[in-house]
Amino acid sequence: MNYEEIGAEMRNEKDALILQGLVKEFFDKYLNRIEESDSGTEFSPITLSCCRVMMLEPLNDLLTKMAKLSGAKEKVTYGLKVNNM
């Protein structure tokens, strides 16, 4: 499937609503999830990592925009960390 075909499919309102729901679920159920350890410390059990420091801010901005457009609960940062290989 090429980009034009994907674009045509995405213009389908039903698919767009399904995608919006899936993106919202991704943020609300996974990335924005906060748990508490036995010692009482709050943490995010699911995190994203990146091995390029220069990509952290753009990726965080992208995730913030995706969350907002999907209607997911807002989060200040997604705690992206550099993955030192």
Single pTM value for the model? 0.67
What are 82's strand-pairing partners? 50
What pLDDT does 14 receive? 80
pLDDT confidence bin for 27, thresholds 50/70/90: very high
Give the whole-angstrom CA distance, residue 46 versus residue 49. 10
State residue 64 phi and psi, 5-degree precision.
-60, -45
pLDDT tens across 49-71, in order? 888 889 988 998 899 899 999 99
